[in-house]
Protein backbone atom coordinates (compact mmCIF):
# COMPACT_ATOMS: atom_id res chain seq x y z
CA UNK A 1 0.00 0.00 0.00
CA UNK A 2 1.42 3.37 -1.00
CA UNK A 3 2.02 6.01 1.63
CA UNK A 4 -0.30 8.99 1.61
CA UNK A 5 0.31 12.38 3.17
CA UNK A 6 -2.04 15.30 3.82
CA UNK A 7 -0.74 18.24 1.78
CA UNK A 8 -1.88 21.87 1.57
CA UNK A 9 -2.65 22.08 -2.12
CA UNK A 10 -4.92 25.15 -2.36
CA UNK A 11 -4.06 28.50 -0.77
CA UNK A 12 -6.57 30.71 1.02
CA UNK A 13 -6.85 33.14 -1.89
CA UNK A 14 -7.20 30.30 -4.37
CA UNK A 15 -10.17 28.91 -2.45
CA UNK A 16 -11.73 32.37 -1.99
CA UNK A 17 -11.33 33.10 -5.70
CA UNK A 18 -12.85 29.73 -6.65
CA UNK A 19 -15.96 30.06 -4.47
CA UNK A 20 -16.47 33.78 -5.10
CA UNK A 21 -16.21 33.22 -8.84
CA UNK A 22 -18.63 30.29 -8.69
CA UNK A 23 -21.12 32.32 -6.65
CA UNK A 24 -20.95 35.32 -8.98
CA UNK A 25 -21.31 33.19 -12.12
CA UNK A 26 -24.30 31.35 -10.66
CA UNK A 27 -25.93 34.63 -9.59
CA UNK A 28 -25.33 36.14 -13.03
CA UNK A 29 -26.85 33.07 -14.66
CA UNK A 30 -29.88 33.38 -12.35
CA UNK A 31 -30.41 37.07 -13.13
CA UNK A 32 -29.43 36.66 -16.78
CA UNK A 33 -32.07 34.05 -17.49
CA UNK A 34 -34.65 36.27 -15.78
CA UNK A 35 -33.59 39.15 -18.05
CA UNK A 36 -34.24 36.81 -20.98
CA UNK A 37 -37.76 36.23 -19.67
CA UNK A 38 -37.28 32.61 -18.56
CA UNK A 39 -39.06 33.39 -15.27
CA UNK A 40 -39.88 36.31 -12.99
CA UNK A 41 -38.43 36.64 -9.50
CA UNK A 42 -36.63 39.96 -8.95
CA UNK A 43 -38.35 41.79 -11.76
CA UNK A 44 -36.68 42.86 -15.02
CA UNK A 45 -35.30 46.20 -13.76
CA UNK A 46 -33.80 44.75 -10.56
CA UNK A 47 -32.48 41.69 -12.41
CA UNK A 48 -30.59 43.97 -14.82
CA UNK A 49 -29.32 46.14 -11.95
CA UNK A 50 -28.00 43.23 -9.87
CA UNK A 51 -26.66 41.42 -12.93
CA UNK A 52 -24.54 44.48 -13.76
CA UNK A 53 -23.27 44.79 -10.17
CA UNK A 54 -22.26 41.11 -10.19
CA UNK A 55 -20.46 41.70 -13.51
CA UNK A 56 -18.39 44.54 -12.01
CA UNK A 57 -17.53 42.39 -8.98
CA UNK A 58 -16.48 39.54 -11.26
CA UNK A 59 -14.22 41.87 -13.26
CA UNK A 60 -12.53 43.05 -10.04
CA UNK A 61 -12.11 39.43 -8.92
CA UNK A 62 -10.63 38.46 -12.29
CA UNK A 63 -8.11 41.31 -12.10
CA UNK A 64 -6.96 40.19 -8.64
CA UNK A 65 -6.85 36.56 -9.81
CA UNK A 66 -4.70 37.43 -12.83
CA UNK A 67 -2.31 39.36 -10.57
CA UNK A 68 -2.15 36.43 -8.12
CA UNK A 69 -1.56 33.84 -10.83
CA UNK A 70 1.34 35.73 -12.37
CA UNK A 71 3.02 36.78 -9.11
CA UNK A 72 2.86 33.25 -7.68
CA UNK A 73 3.63 31.40 -10.91
CA UNK A 74 0.37 29.44 -10.61
CA UNK A 75 -0.43 30.31 -14.25
CA UNK A 76 1.82 27.40 -15.18
CA UNK A 77 -0.84 25.01 -13.84
CA UNK A 78 -3.02 25.82 -16.87
CA UNK A 79 -0.50 25.38 -19.70
CA UNK A 80 -2.09 22.72 -21.97
CA UNK A 81 -0.31 19.46 -22.67
CA UNK A 82 -1.11 16.44 -24.85
CA UNK A 83 0.81 14.05 -22.57
CA UNK A 84 -1.51 11.35 -21.17
CA UNK A 85 -4.57 13.12 -22.59
CA UNK A 86 -5.74 9.93 -24.32
CA UNK A 87 -5.39 7.95 -21.10
CA UNK A 88 -7.29 10.60 -19.15
CA UNK A 89 -10.13 10.63 -21.69
CA UNK A 90 -10.30 6.83 -21.60
CA UNK A 91 -10.50 7.02 -17.79
CA UNK A 92 -13.46 9.40 -17.83
CA UNK A 93 -15.31 7.44 -20.54
CA UNK A 94 -14.56 3.86 -19.47
CA UNK A 95 -12.03 3.48 -16.65
CA UNK A 96 -13.99 5.27 -13.95
CA UNK A 97 -16.86 2.78 -14.34
CA UNK A 98 -14.61 -0.23 -13.76
CA UNK A 99 -12.76 1.34 -10.81
CA UNK A 100 -9.54 1.80 -12.78
CA UNK A 101 -6.75 3.86 -11.16
CA UNK A 102 -6.31 7.51 -12.12
CA UNK A 103 -3.88 7.75 -15.06
CA UNK A 104 -2.28 10.93 -13.67
CA UNK A 105 -1.27 11.79 -10.13
CA UNK A 106 -2.05 15.13 -8.51
CA UNK A 107 0.80 17.05 -6.88
CA UNK A 108 1.19 20.59 -5.53
CA UNK A 109 3.08 21.53 -8.70
CA UNK A 110 0.62 19.74 -11.00
CA UNK A 111 -2.92 19.99 -9.63
CA UNK A 112 -4.71 19.44 -12.94
CA UNK A 113 -4.85 16.47 -15.29
CA UNK A 114 -4.34 17.05 -19.06
CA UNK A 115 -8.06 17.43 -19.85
CA UNK A 116 -8.53 19.85 -16.95
CA UNK A 117 -5.58 21.94 -18.16
CA UNK A 118 -7.06 22.12 -21.65
CA UNK A 119 -10.54 22.96 -20.34
CA UNK A 120 -9.42 25.63 -17.88
CA UNK A 121 -7.07 27.16 -20.46
CA UNK A 122 -9.97 27.53 -22.90
CA UNK A 123 -12.18 28.85 -20.11
CA UNK A 124 -9.71 31.52 -18.98
CA UNK A 125 -8.32 32.56 -22.36
CA UNK A 126 -11.44 32.36 -24.54
CA UNK A 127 -14.78 31.81 -22.78
CA UNK A 128 -14.45 34.19 -19.82
CA UNK A 129 -13.04 37.08 -21.92
CA UNK A 130 -15.72 36.56 -24.59
CA UNK A 131 -18.45 36.58 -21.94
CA UNK A 132 -17.16 39.73 -20.24
CA UNK A 133 -16.43 41.66 -23.44
CA UNK A 134 -19.81 40.83 -25.01
CA UNK A 135 -21.53 41.78 -21.75
CA UNK A 136 -19.71 45.11 -21.54
CA UNK A 137 -20.47 45.90 -25.18
CA UNK A 138 -24.11 45.17 -24.53
CA UNK A 139 -24.08 47.26 -21.34
CA UNK A 140 -22.32 50.27 -22.88
CA UNK A 141 -23.78 50.15 -26.39
CA UNK A 142 -25.44 53.46 -25.51
CA UNK A 143 -23.76 55.68 -22.92
CA UNK A 144 -23.79 59.37 -21.83
CA UNK A 145 -21.17 61.61 -23.37
CA UNK A 146 -20.84 65.42 -23.47
CA UNK A 147 -24.52 65.90 -22.66
CA UNK A 148 -25.67 63.50 -25.37
CA UNK A 149 -26.21 59.76 -25.74
CA UNK A 150 -23.43 58.19 -27.77
CA UNK A 151 -23.41 54.76 -29.38
CA UNK A 152 -20.66 52.32 -30.19
CA UNK A 153 -20.48 51.99 -33.97
CA UNK A 154 -22.18 48.61 -34.10
CA UNK A 155 -25.03 48.17 -36.57
CA UNK A 156 -26.97 45.72 -34.44
CA UNK A 157 -26.94 44.35 -30.92
CA UNK A 158 -28.31 41.01 -32.11
CA UNK A 159 -24.89 39.46 -32.71
CA UNK A 160 -23.61 40.69 -29.34
CA UNK A 161 -26.71 39.46 -27.51
CA UNK A 162 -26.54 36.05 -29.20
CA UNK A 163 -22.81 35.77 -28.49
CA UNK A 164 -23.29 36.67 -24.83
CA UNK A 165 -26.12 34.15 -24.50
CA UNK A 166 -24.07 31.40 -26.15
CA UNK A 167 -21.24 32.13 -23.71
CA UNK A 168 -23.71 31.97 -20.81
CA UNK A 169 -24.96 28.54 -21.92
CA UNK A 170 -21.37 27.36 -22.34
CA UNK A 171 -20.56 28.48 -18.78
CA UNK A 172 -23.70 26.73 -17.51
CA UNK A 173 -22.64 23.54 -19.30
CA UNK A 174 -19.16 23.83 -17.76
CA UNK A 175 -20.61 24.24 -14.25
CA UNK A 176 -22.84 21.17 -14.64
CA UNK A 177 -19.91 19.11 -15.93
CA UNK A 178 -17.70 20.49 -13.16
CA UNK A 179 -20.18 19.42 -10.49
CA UNK A 180 -19.99 15.87 -11.81
CA UNK A 181 -16.23 15.79 -12.20
CA UNK A 182 -15.56 16.90 -8.62
CA UNK A 183 -16.95 13.50 -7.59
CA UNK A 184 -14.28 11.66 -9.59
CA UNK A 185 -11.42 12.13 -7.12
CA UNK A 186 -9.90 9.43 -4.93
CA UNK A 187 -13.25 9.49 -3.10
CA UNK A 188 -16.55 11.11 -4.02
CA UNK A 189 -15.94 14.05 -1.67
CA UNK A 190 -12.12 14.37 -1.69
CA UNK A 191 -11.99 17.12 -4.33
CA UNK A 192 -14.75 19.11 -2.62
CA UNK A 193 -13.08 18.81 0.79
CA UNK A 194 -9.76 19.94 -0.70
CA UNK A 195 -11.32 23.10 -2.10
CA UNK A 196 -12.98 23.80 1.26
CA UNK A 197 -10.03 23.10 3.56
CA UNK A 198 -7.07 23.51 1.20
CA UNK A 199 -5.72 20.08 2.16
CA UNK A 200 -5.80 16.78 0.30
CA UNK A 201 -4.24 13.38 0.89
CA UNK A 202 -1.73 12.69 -1.89
CA UNK A 203 0.57 9.79 -2.61
CA UNK A 204 4.11 10.47 -1.48
CA UNK A 205 6.74 10.43 -4.25
CA UNK A 206 8.70 7.17 -4.48
CA UNK A 207 11.90 8.97 -3.52
CA UNK A 208 10.31 10.23 -0.27
CA UNK A 209 9.01 6.76 0.52
CA UNK A 210 12.46 5.22 0.06
CA UNK A 211 14.18 7.78 2.28
CA UNK A 212 11.37 7.84 4.82
CA UNK A 213 10.94 11.61 4.53
Q: Is the Cβ–Cβ distance between 70 and 83 less than 8 Å?
A: no
Classify the phi-psi angles of 199: left when phi > 0, otherwise alpha if psi is within -120 to 50, otherwise beta.
Answer: beta
Residue 155 CA from chain centroid, whole number: 32
Cα–Cα distances in angstroms (integers) from residue 75 to residues 33, 52, 60, 80, 96, in the given order: 32, 28, 18, 11, 28
Q: Cα(first)–Cα(last) distance of the chain, in Å?
A: 17
Q: Mutual orientation of helices 128-139 and 158-181 as an angle, nearest 10°?
A: 140
Q: What is the 3-state secondary structure (H, E, C) of the chain?
A: CCCEEEEECCCHHHHHHHHHHHHHHHHHHHHHHHHCCCCCCCCHHHHHHHHHHHHHHHHHHHHHHHHHHHHHCHHHHHCCCCCCHHHHHHHHHCHHHHCCCCCCCCCCCCCCCHHHHHHHHHHHHHHHHHHHHHHHHHHCCEEEECCEEEECCCCCCHHHHHHHHHHHHHHHHHHHHHHHHHHHCCCCCHHHHHHHHCEEEEECCHHHHHHCC
Q: In degrees rounded to 5, what are phi and psi of residue 157? A: -85, -5
pLDDT at 211: 46
Query: What residue spans define the domains of the chain?
Result: 4-211
pLDDT at 1: 46
| Residues 34, 37, 42: CA angle, nearest 5 degrees | 35
What is d(CA 194, CA 181) in angstroms, rounded to the nearest whole number? Answer: 14
pLDDT at 191: 87
pLDDT at 197: 92
pLDDT at 142: 63
> How confident is the chain (213 residues) per 10-residue block, as mean pLDDT?
78 94 94 89 92 94 94 91 88 84 84 90 92 86 54 68 90 90 83 90 60 47
Radius of gyration of the chain (CA): 21
pLDDT at 101: 83
**CATH classification code of 4-211:** 1.20.950.20
Amino acid sequence: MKNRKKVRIYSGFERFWHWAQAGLVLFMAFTGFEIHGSYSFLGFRDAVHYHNIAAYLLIVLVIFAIFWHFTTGEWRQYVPTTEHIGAQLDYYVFGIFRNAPHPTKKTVLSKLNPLQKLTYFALKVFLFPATLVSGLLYMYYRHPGSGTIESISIKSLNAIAIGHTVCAYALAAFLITHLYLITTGETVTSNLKAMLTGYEELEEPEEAQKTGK
